[in-house]
């Protein structure tokens, strides 16, 4: 660019092409189109906004430069000088933990969850039987030495738990072994009905015993007289028949009734004995009879 020329200067003579003057004259007669007012306003508005934005760099949205991504740059809420401080602090806070620490934490969490699950799983089966039938030695004579549980205590417990009688019964049923249900389905149904009835009936009638009354009768039954199904090791069926027989605590009235029934059977008054036995069983359906009496109760 040796000789700067103003924009309106005509081209230098040596640049003139053949017929250019005629074409230029005709060209100047072509319509002189101009941008519309809306376009003018848009451009001037953009120019004014750019000046405002230059004072407050990110206050006005603008079109991006050719090397920037996207089409528009939109204003942000924080001033530009705060960008660095905002960008540095979270980066320091977002420092990654070492992997071994994450693995250790995950393992500890898993152990905690597993332990809690194991603990919660074991609670119902362990708590309910001990509540109903406290652990007693399988030794039969020892059961006879157990004093009868005072009925008022159990009745009071039933009174308090009137609302919870049915759940307690279902818990008891859940805690009972599966095998015991095979031959005591009727007893279970009656037991459920009884438990659902709640403690009102228990209190109203003095005769229905609490659930965990101890029967002295199983103590008199020798182990050899048990049927083969019940001769399984106590470790496998700890609560099956031995425990109820020990756990049932008979009132003097019940004990007298059972003794009387036995006496009637011994005197061969079978009809009367069976009738009284059925009455007893009907009155105390949850009562687990001794085997010598149960054989008379069974129906062909």
Partner 1 sequence: MDAAVDPDAMLMLAYARGDLAAFEALYAKHRGMLYRFLLRSARDPHRTDELFQETWSRVISARERYQPQAKFSTWLLQIAHNLMIDGIRRQRPMADGDEAEMALANATTPESGQPEHALSEFERRRNLQRAIEQLPDEQRIAVLLRLEQELSLEQIAMVTGSGRETVKSRLRYAMNRLREVLSE
Residues that bind partner 1 (CB under 8 A): 1, 4-12, 15, 17-20, 22-24, 26-27, 29-36, 39-40, 42-44, 46-48, 50-51, 54, 62-63, 65-66
68 or 153: whose CB is closer to partner 1?
68
Signed CA dihedral, 286, 289, 291, 297: sign only: negative
Signed CA dihedral, 68, 69, 75, 81: sign only: negative
8 or 205: whose CB is closer to partner 1?
8
Q: Which burial class, exposed, middle or buried, applies to 26 when counting CB atoms under 10 A from its CB (0-12, 13-18, 19+)? A: exposed
Q: Measured from the CB of residue 54, what is the shortest distance to partner 1 in angstroms?
A: 7
7 or 99: whose CB is closer to partner 1?
7
Q: Measured from the CB of residue 58, what is the shortest distance to partner 1 in angstroms?
A: 14
Q: Which burial class, exposed, middle or buried, applies to 210 when counting CB atoms under 10 A from its CB (0-12, 13-18, 19+)? A: buried
Q: Measured from the CB of residue 86, what is the shortest distance to partner 1 in angstroms?
A: 25
17 or 266: whose CB is closer to partner 1?
17
H/E run at residue 188: helix 185-197
Q: Measured from the CB of residue 70, what is the shortest distance to partner 1 in angstroms?
A: 14
Phi then psi for residue 63, to 5 deg, are -75, 145
63 or 263: whose CB is closer to partner 1?
63
Nearest-CA neighbor of 260 among 249, 275, 248?
Answer: 275
């Amino acid at each position: 660019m040796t000789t700067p020329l103003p924009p309106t200067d005509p081209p230098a003579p040596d640049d003139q092409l053949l017929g250019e003057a005629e074409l230029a004259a005709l060209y100047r007669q072509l319509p002189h189109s101009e941008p519309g007012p809306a376009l003018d306003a848009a451009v001037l508005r953009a120019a004014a906004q750019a000046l405002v934005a230059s004072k407050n760099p990110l206050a006005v949205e603008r079109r991006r430069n050719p090397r920037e991504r996207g089409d528009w740059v939109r204003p942000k809420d924080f001033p530009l000088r705060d960008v660095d401080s905002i960008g540095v602090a979270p980066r320091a806070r977002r420092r990654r933990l070492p992997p071994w620490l994450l693995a250790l934490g995950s393992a500890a969490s898993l152990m905690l969850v597993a332990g809690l699950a194991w603990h919660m799983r074991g609670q119902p089966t362990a708590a309910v039987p001990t509540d109903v039938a406290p652990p007693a030695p399988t030794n039969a004579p020892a059961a006879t030495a157990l004093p009868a549980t005072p009925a008022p205590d159990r009745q009071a417990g039933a009174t308090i738990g009137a609302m919870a009688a049915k759940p307690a019964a279902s818990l008891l049923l859940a805690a009972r072994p599966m095998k015991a249900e095979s031959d005591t389905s009727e007893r279970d149904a009656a037991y459920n009905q009884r438990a659902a009835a709640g403690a009102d009936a228990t209190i109203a009638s003095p005769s229905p015993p609490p659930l965990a009354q101890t029967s002295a009768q199983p103590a008199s039954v020798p182990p050899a007289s048990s049927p083969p199904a019940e001769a399984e090791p106590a470790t496998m069926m700890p609560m099956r028949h031995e425990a109820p027989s020990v756990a049932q605590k008979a009132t003097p009235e019940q004990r007298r009734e059972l003794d009387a029934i036995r006496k009637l059977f011994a005197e061969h008054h079978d009809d009367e004995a069976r009738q009284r036995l059925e009455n007893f069983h009907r009155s105390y359906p949850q009562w687990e009879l001794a085997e010598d009496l149960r054989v008379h109760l069974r129906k062909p």
